[in-house]
A = this chain, B = another copy of it.
């Protein structure tokens, strides 16, 4: 009775875990939530009052599908202060980046279209692609991001394909794509008019240290291959997710097609949210706010790393992301993170087993830990309990 695409759809185990974590008293490293105590509440409140008095009923009326023009101007001027030649016609405001993924899927994916993803990869993206019956191919990844060598092997000349990746502080693993690999990706798409790179970058602003590397879209634009690259970003992690204001940046013709598709999908992103974000950006303070986020999340990452050093068995491996919201932990290969979760939940600690993020069903011994949404005290206590559980399971040093 349902469409064919529904047969492959299952409720995410993560959603089930997140339901448990709303229980009071639980220490959760499970969600991908930004820290609500850092939301710019005063500024939001002021911006709301301002737009109501300045623009009156316009903030509640229908508006254009492409998105509020002054907001698109601001986004253009931030992502292209001088060289890119990105204008408002390259930008479509979306209802969260998840909608960006939906619209791009509608635009490019037929049943069986190959989508080449990192391993592990963002679950929401996999869900979006599966709703269009994409053929998801998991490309091996390492600490420098997707392995371009393996990517190259998976591309069939003459067959359209999407490449999906998060270049900065990837969800779930926290890894970033190295500059060398970025340049190799630009090489790979040369001569392929039917290969599209979907660059999903919600966390790029949350860099604790080091230089921000150029985006693939930027590099593509510079080398005359802008049509191969679509860039997605969002205000969900830098202002607040509940507003659902995000954006797609693409070649002008592609952006026009995305707007046409959005028209049939939801007419437009909510007007009020767009006005408020625009007003907030106009009033200044956004950069200062991002500095606060970076500093706070960096401290929480350090706190989690220190706690892991103290409490986790030495046979575990984990990484040290330079930004974002997630850490990645590997148990000894034969161990099952699902079992660790069951025992942790008994001790009121939650996390997400990594397996769900592997398009090929591997990764049973991996764990995603979110460090942005717990206080340092809770991080210390939660990691301590996790360490006890791991030792109870007989996991020790090497």
Q: Could you tell me the dominant secondary structure of chain A's interface residues?
A: helix
**How many subunits of this chain does the assembly comprise?**
2
Complex CA gap A98/B264 in Å reads 7
Q: Which of B34, B61, B99, B266 contacts A242 (CB 8 A)?
A: B61
Cβ–Cβ contact A194 & B270, under 8 A: no
Cβ–Cβ contact A267 & B106, under 8 A: no
Which residue from chain B places its CB closest to the CB of A108 in the assembled complex? B3
Count chain B CB atoms within 10 A of each CB in A61, A102, A111, A194 and give the residue with the most: A61
Question: With an 8 A cutoff between CB atoms, is A37 at the interface?
Answer: yes
Cβ–Cβ contact A265 & B59, under 8 A: no
Interface size on A, residues (CB 8 A): 71
Spot the interface stretch: A85-93, A123-131, A301-309, A317-325. Answer: A123-131
Known: A39-B60, A106-B131, A244-B266. 8 other contacts (CB 8 A): A1-B108, A3-B110, A3-B132, A5-B110, A12-B263, A57-B240, A98-B265, A243-B270
Which residues of B lie under 8 Å from residue A264 when comparing CB positions? 9, 98, 102, 124, 127-128, 130-131
Cβ–Cβ contact B160 & A1, under 8 A: yes
Cβ–Cβ contact A270 & B95, under 8 A: yes
Cβ–Cβ contact A241 & B60, under 8 A: yes
Considering only residues 4-47 of chain A, those with a C-beta below 8 Å from chain B are 4-6, 9, 11-12, 15, 31, 33-34, 36-37, 39, 41, 44-45
Q: Given A107-B3, A243-B270, A266-B102: A11 and B128 within 8 A (CB)?
A: no
Which residue from chain B places its CB closest to the CB of A101 in the assembled complex? B264
Q: Which of B243, B266, B269 contacts A60 (CB 8 A)?
A: B243
Cβ–Cβ contact B268 & A244, under 8 A: yes
**Shortest Cβ distance from residue A81 to the other chain B in the assembled complex, whole angstroms:** 28
Q: Given A107-B3, A242-B271: A36 and B58 within 8 A (CB)?
A: yes
Question: With an 8 A cutoff between CB atoms, is A219 at the interface?
Answer: no
Question: With an 8 A cutoff between CB atoms, is A282 at the interface?
Answer: no
Question: With an 8 A cutoff between CB atoms, is A155 at the interface?
Answer: no
Question: With an 8 A cutoff between CB atoms, is A63 at the interface?
Answer: yes
Which residue from chain B places its CB closest to the CB of A194 in the assembled complex? B1
